[in-house]
Chain A
Amino acid sequence: MDHTRRPLSPHLGIYRWQVQMVSSILHRATGIALAVGTLLLLGGLLTLADGSTAFAAYRSFLAAPLLQILLIGWTWAFAYHLCNGVRHLLQDAGFGFAKPVFVRNGWIVVLLSLLLTILAWAWIVLAGCAP
């Protein structure tokens, strides 16, 4: 069975890290994170339907420091999966395959997702400080 000894693709050990592969890996990773994050949506809707006491308890649960850190992570995962999803849909339509464009768009997605995360949390903090 010596044919199974050949290096099989994907063979991450010999790959130089590049934005094309990272954006693909991150799309799946953020997708899995967002699948776990659906529990938060479920919790919000169920407690909102249940009544003000349950909803208040859910809100104080989300206000815990650990959850706040996780929520920043989930915000970025959402922003990234959204932006990179648009990039994927454009590629499915046949655009953006030339190597320089592929690399440029990969970086645009990364930077845009970080910008959206910062904007969202700036809004959250500023709106929270308003009287």
Chain B
Amino acid sequence: MNDLRNPLQRALGLGSAKEGVNHWWRQRITALALFFLGLWFMALVLMLLHGDYTSVHATLADPINAVLMLVFIIALFWHMQLGLQVVIEDYVHTRWLGVVLQIAARFYAVLAALLAALAVLRIALGR
């Protein structure tokens, strides 16, 4: 078969968008993680719904719950950014607005993830 691409380009496998399948794979892997973590998070919220402050605090301070919450936060905000990126790419056709929204989504994802992670650490390690 005729392939007009440079052999190097074919070997790198990055395609015309120059990013290869990285975005696609990260979206799927974070989705798989969030399937399990999402169910865990829902169960946790439903269990703690009517608990008092001390028991909610103690439950989240438990090392296993704290680590799962940290992983949940990372997977959640990463998956959120990847998803919003695709939506903005598909529906926002004004160039400058698209760029502004892409940057805003990334800024929010990083800020929110760090704020949430710091809160979990404060809860787990004692203030």
Complex: A46 Cα to B118 Cα, angstroms = 9
Interface size class of A (residues with CB under 8 A): 20 to 34
Bound CA span A15–B115, Å: 44
* Chain B at the A interface: SS class: helix
Q: Mark A5-17, 1 if CB is under 8 A from B, else 0.
A: 0000000000000
How far is the CB of B32 from the nearest CB of chain A, in Å? 7
Query: Which of A94-102, A104-112, A122-130 contacts the other chain?
Result: A122-130
Q: Is A60 an interface residue (CB 8 A)?
A: no
Check if B83 sits within 8 Å of A38, measured CB to CB.
no
Residue A35 is within 8 A (CB to CB) of chain B in the complex: yes
User: Which residues of A are at the interface with B, using a C-beta cutoff of 8 A?
Assistant: 28, 31-32, 34-35, 38-39, 41-42, 45-46, 48-49, 52, 55-56, 78, 82, 85-86, 88-89, 92, 120, 123-124, 127-128, 130
Interface segment among B3-11, B12-20, B42-50, B92-100: the answer is B42-50
Residue in contact with B116 in the complex, picked from A41, A120, A123, CB distance below 8 Å: A41
List the interface of chain B (C-beta within 8 A of A).
Answer: 28, 31-32, 34-35, 38-39, 42, 46, 49-50, 53-54, 56-57, 60, 69, 73, 76-77, 80, 83-84, 87, 112, 115-116, 118-120, 122-123, 127
Q: Chain B residues near A28: list those with CB within 8 A.
A: 83, 87
Across the interface, do A78 and B28 meet the contact criterion of CB distance under 8 Å?
no
Return chain A residues, CB-CB under 8 Å to B32: 89
